[in-house]
Chains A and B, each alone.
Chain A
Amino acid sequence: MEAFTAHTGRAVPLRRSNVDTDQIIPAHWLKKVTRDGFEDGLFEAWRKNEDFVLNRPEREGATVLVAGPDFGTGSSREHAVWALQNYGFKTVISSRFADIFRGNSLKNGLLTVVLDQDVVDRLWELTEADSAAEVTVDLEKRQVLAAGITAGFELDENARWRLLNGLDDISLTLQNEADIAAYEAGRPAFKPQTIQA
């Protein structure tokens, strides 16, 4: 996983709540068997409208998505995270994320930042008024900075440590091989098996 320490970039204000994963990446894109090449599928239906914020020339190259509450609801498709990253987003800000999407984002180094809705409102106002306005997300300081805005955010220490160092979860877990083997040895005989091992 790519490490995340701090990022500064221009923003895309997305004034919509309940942005579900079917909007982020429609199902027909999920037939691909790679982790890349999803950028054209990002918000595919909405991008057919030329007024959609992502289509505005002044938003080109923006890397910070500022979205409404309940971002990433619906399916468990990690393709939603890959699509945002493939397009160029480094971080997403919202007042509330769906659990599975949040977990997926942090496992891929896409930093999802939870801020109060009133801060999100101010970020929207700022970045709608000035498309060149920069937003900084600093994971070391757990802080979001923009013109006139300084807001702290929470992220549990373990997730932060993994992100800051770009650590691979599987390697970390396999350091506990002895614990896993001990647990396996104590499982009851009545537990289901798909095949005889």
Chain B
Amino acid sequence: MGRTLAEKVWDDHVVRRAEGEPDLLFIDLHLLHEVTSPQAFDGLRQAGRPVRRLDLTIATEDHNTPTLDIDKPIADPVSRAQLETLRKNCADFGVRLHPLGDVEQGVVHVVGPQLGLTQPGTTVVCGDSHTSTHGAFGALAFGIGTSQVEHVLATQTLPLARPRTMAITVEGELPDTVTAKDLILAVIARIGTGGGQGYILEYRGSAIEKLSMEARMTICNMSIEAGARAGMIAPDRTTFDYLRGRDHAPRGEDWDAAVAYWETLRTDDDAVFDAEVLIDATELAPFVTWGTNPGQGAPLSACVPDPASYEDASERHAAEKALEYMGLTAGQPLREISVDTVFVGSCTNGRIEDLRNAASVMEGRKVADGVRMLVVPGSVRVALQAVEEGLDKVFTAAGAEWRHAGCSMCLGMNPDQLAPGERSASTSNRNFEGRQGKGGRTHLVSPQVAAATAVLGHLASPADLSDTRTPAGVR
């Protein structure tokens, strides 16, 4: 019987397989950041262990870093201490680090791909659940806890039970107004926040094959919001073209050998998935969340649902709690929800294509009165590219704030937070209670919807902008 993409990559990394034990899997790339690594380095110190493979390990600073005044000492002493701890750990153990101020600094899941380190057929881990992002390259990539971070530092392996596989097949042409973010939000609403638990997802079908690498990363990034540790897309010409010439991409004969291997990384025709979900791309529309988990979403044209309409008691209760927290009423049209903050950025939507898409909507328009819009590039490289293209000017001319790279308001570990009761349209990945600041309310949206919402002051898509200009480059 044939094998799925996930099974092929898994099998190629088994160091040891024994009856009654989890497989011991080799890890090709270990990404580190300041939040989930300090206790792991402490563990190594206590046991007198070195980092086994410094050549497969890289660190950057992203979660705590400020997005303003980065040339000044970090104001929050606790954040500063955590960053200093990472710097000391990397210096003591010899780990390559791109700290705040470095040209390669940025959100860890933006940095890996842009350096060309994330490659098809590799295993990638990081102490961050959005490591699933790297699956866009046909890598098996998943988030791990700090104990596992220590385990990988010490052994470059992880003992893991083999997950099942689920195909998410998206056939047909996505409408022009529908983005990768809308697609993945619709998938999560369909299968639920626990629907992918225990599975590796493989996104496939004609609609997926047409997507850019940035769009594929957006989709794989949010696999974890459906409960799946990993999501993958088979590598193809789009993947190879993205990688060619990047700093750490193979060169010369290595490139040819790599491509020959990468081309084998497709699910065999006779392979069987443990579960399959079929999505009709043509039926999708701009999608936003109304609740406090990423599965509580609906098309922008819909209304806030009535909790009484849920048959499942626990879903009904969750919807009631969500409406209470979000300050929403059943039946209220989603388009009538006003926001005071718009956030464009994060490992989900902080790449250059995302900024281009948001800028194409903002060009020649203004952020509505009473709305603050933060644009936070995913990395310094993304910021430099955006500046070269003049995107920063588009945002600042519209009245938005152009900030330094980092995780920023996606999780509010740095000063970029919502105040209690404030409401955001955010291109990030989680709308949990308090995620963007205590008492803050989050609606997850695409960059295009974020931009249109900033202009109108309420949840909106570019099609709602009443003037005659047609935004270019939507997708």
Instruction: Write the A12-24 contact mask toward B (1 if CB under 8 angstroms, else 0).
Output: 0001111010110
Q: Judging by beta carbons under 8 Å apart, are B432 and A22 in contact?
A: yes
Shortest Cβ distance from residue B314 to the other chain A in the assembled complex, whole angstroms: 4
- The proximity string for B residues 410-427 relative to A, scoring 1 for CB distances below 8 Å and 0 otherwise, is 011100000000000000
Query: B117 touches which one: A68, A107, A194 (CB < 8 A)?
Result: A194
- Closest approach, in angstroms, between the C-beta of B71 and any C-beta of chain A? 21
Classify chain A's interface size: 35 or more
The listed residue with most B CB atoms (<10 A of its CB), out of A35, A73, A79, is A73
B434 touches A26 (CB 8 A): yes
Q: Shortest CB–CB separation between residue B189 and chain A, in angstroms?
A: 14
Q: How far is the CB of A67 from chain B (nearest CB, A)?
A: 11
Assess whether A192 is in contact with B78, with CB atoms less than 8 Å apart: no
From 181 to 197 in chain A, residues with beta carbon under 8 angstroms from any chain B beta carbon are: 183-184, 187-197
In the complex, whether B210 has a CB less than 8 A from a CB of chain A is no
Interface size on B, residues (CB 8 A): 88
- Please pick, from A169, A192, A195, the residue contacting B54 in the complex, using a CB distance under 8 A: A195
Q: How far is the CA of A158 from the CA of B439 in the complex (A)?
A: 42
A174: chain B residues at CB < 8 Å are 154-155
Chain B residues 187 to 217 lying within 8 A of chain A, measured CB to CB, are: 193-194, 197-198
Q: Cβ of A16 and Cβ of B16 under 8 Å apart?
A: no
Give CA–CA (A170, B129) in the complex, Å.
22
Determine whether A28 belongs to the interface, using a CB cutoff of 8 Å to chain B.
yes
Q: Is B156 an interface residue when CB atoms closer than 8 A count as contact?
A: yes
A150: CB under 8 A from chain B? no
Write out, one digit per residue, whether chain A residues 71-85 have a CB within 8 A of any chain B CB (1) or not (0): 001111111010000
Distance A73 CA – B429 CA, assembled complex (angstroms): 13
**Does B24 make an interface contact (CB < 8 A)?**
yes
Contacts of A184 in B (CB 8 A): 26, 156
Q: How far is the CB of A49 from chain B (nearest CB, A)?
A: 12
Q: How many A-B residue pairs have CB under 8 A?
A: 211
How many Å from the CB of A194 to the closest CB on chain B? 4
Contact A192 B122 (CB under 8 A): yes
* A107–B147 alpha-carbon span in the complex (Å): 7
B85 touches A (CB below 8 Å): yes
Q: Which of A20, A34, A197 is most buried by chain B, counting CB atoms within 10 A of its CB?
A: A20
Q: Could you tell me the distance in whole angstroms from the C-beta of B108 to the nearest C-beta in chain A?
A: 12
* Bound complex: CA A30 to CA B157 (Å): 25
Q: Interface with B: A2-10, A57-65, A97-105, A141-149, which one? A: A97-105
Q: List A contacts of B81 (CB < 8 A).
A: 31, 33
When chains A and B are docked, how far (Å) is the Cα of A75 from the Cα of B131? 10
Contact, CB under 8 Å: A100 / B143: yes
Cβ–Cβ contact A45 & B433, under 8 A: yes
| Residue B254 at the chain A interface, CB threshold 8 Å | yes
The answer to whether A98 and B24 touch (CB under 8 A), given A75-B129, A174-B154, A179-B15, is no
* C-alpha gap A30/B63 in the complex (Å): 10
Q: Residues of A with Cβ closer than 8 Å to B?
A: 15-18, 20, 22-23, 26-28, 30-35, 45, 68-70, 73-79, 81, 96, 98-100, 103-104, 107-108, 117, 156-158, 169-170, 172-174, 176, 179-180, 183-184, 187-197
A22-B411, A73-B194, A190-B261 known; 4 new pairs, CB 8 Å cut-off, are A17-B314, A33-B42, A70-B197, A74-B224
Query: Can you list 6 contacts pairing A with B, beta carbon distance less than 8 Å?
Result: A45-B433, A68-B314, A117-B314, A158-B22, A172-B159, A194-B96
**What are the 7 tightest A-B residue pairs by CB atom distance, in nearest-first order?**
A104-B145, A33-B38, A197-B55, A78-B145, A76-B143, A190-B258, A190-B254
